[in-house]
Amino acid sequence: MPDPFLITIVGPTAIGKTALGIKLAQHFDTEILSADSRQFFKEMKIGTAVPEEEELQAAPHHFIQHISVEEEYSVGDFERDAIAKLEELFQRKKVVVMVGGSGLYVKSILEGLDYFPEVDPQIRADLNNESLENLQRKLANFDPDYYQKVDAENPHRLIRALEICIGTGKTYSSFLNRKKEPRNFRSIQIGLTAEREKIYERINLRVDKMMETGLPEEAKKLFPKRHLNALNTVGYKELFLHLEGKISEEEAVAEIKKNTRRFAKRQLTWFKKDTAIAWFKNTTPPEEIIAYAEKQIKDSSQ
């Protein structure tokens, strides 16, 4: 039997990945794995732009709202669970689609993760209480090499690296780029993009829609749990500041838009480094992208 194919759709937030993923899944009569780490959590529906009910019914989806914000769920957990799900799906499907903008989570499936030892969970709990500035300063001190590469505005990445540094007494960098398990599937990567102004326009419209469809109420329900790692994310942390009386709702919305634009920029920076990705404008007809995927499969199978 020839190797099956995993078609992965990546790109910045609000670019149209969900709609394209559904088109591809319907064409290949297959299922979708979500590699969007913010959409894993049951309680975070509106602020993470979880696909609408009709979209979820248009093609079977996996790893959407499958855990609680109360649970710790690492990229390593996702790699283990998603690879097991792929093995199951490839028993009956020659193609599976993966959709997501979380670069590290996509990479974990396509390439595998570096091995990191278990460390005392109290280290992470303590780091969660530190300011972004403190985290940046500590990582620059513990592991200057990795600090030059990491997204220093992302507290999750800083905490992950620091807990390894503190828990092992070694640099985070020393655990990177070790030999990984080979994958038993072939990969086709498709990137969606647009002019920066168009991306920003789509982001602004999405945030406005979230506010109209209940994001303030969703944030209010989650406010008592705001200390949890899963909720330290764009869309919620800004509204928590509003609920604490530190900024107005109008200021919170402006901050959400600004921080989402920054997030999209970081996503593009990450994915643009990968030369295996074939980039398409988000206005490209889906049929053209489907034809590209079909050709890749045909050419690889000859």
Q: Return the minimum-mean-pLDDT range out of 112-116, 266-270, 293-297.
A: 112-116
Residue 113: pLDDT band by 50, 70, 90 thresholds?
Answer: confident
pLDDT for residue 159: 94
- The verdict on whether residue 11 carries a ligand-binding annotation is yes
| Alpha carbons 45 and 62: distance in angstroms, whole number | 15
Q: Indicate if the pLDDT at residue 8 is higher than 80.
A: yes
| Alpha carbons 287 and 22: distance in angstroms, whole number | 12
pLDDT in tens, 181-224: 789 999 999 999 999 999 999 999 999 999 999 999 999 999 99
pLDDT in tens, 247-287: 999 999 999 999 999 999 999 999 999 999 999 999 999 99
- The verdict on whether residue 112 carries a ligand-binding annotation is no
- Tokens for 196? 């920066």
For residues 44-83, b (16+ Cβ closer than 10 Å) or e, as one string?
bbbbbbbbeeeebebbebbbbbebebeeebebeebbebbb
Give the angle subtended at the CA of 117 by the CAs of 112 and 120, to the nearest 5°. 130
Residue 65: pLDDT band by 50, 70, 90 thresholds?
Answer: very high
Residue 117: pLDDT band by 50, 70, 90 thresholds?
Answer: confident
Q: Return the minimum-mean-pLDDT range out of 2-6, 138-142, 197-201, 279-283.
A: 2-6
178: phi then psi, degrees, rounded to nearest 5: -90, 165
- The verdict on whether residue 13 carries a ligand-binding annotation is yes
- Contacts within 8 Å (CB) and 24+ apart, 242-251: 243/219, 249/216
- The verdict on whether residue 85 carries a ligand-binding annotation is no
Are the C-beta atoms of residues 271 and 191 closer than 8 Å to each other?
yes
Q: Indicate if the pLDDT at residue 179 is higher than 70.
A: no
For residues 208-217, b (16+ Cβ closer than 10 Å) or e, as one string?
eebbeeebbe
- Tokens for 209? 């829609």
Q: Indicate if the pLDDT at residue 32 is higher than 80.
A: yes
Residue 246: pLDDT band by 50, 70, 90 thresholds?
Answer: very high
- The verdict on whether residue 16 carries a ligand-binding annotation is yes
Residue 76: pLDDT band by 50, 70, 90 thresholds?
Answer: confident
- The verdict on whether residue 17 carries a ligand-binding annotation is yes
Q: Indicate if the pLDDT at residue 112 is higher than 90.
A: no
Q: Helix, strand or coil for residue 9?
A: strand
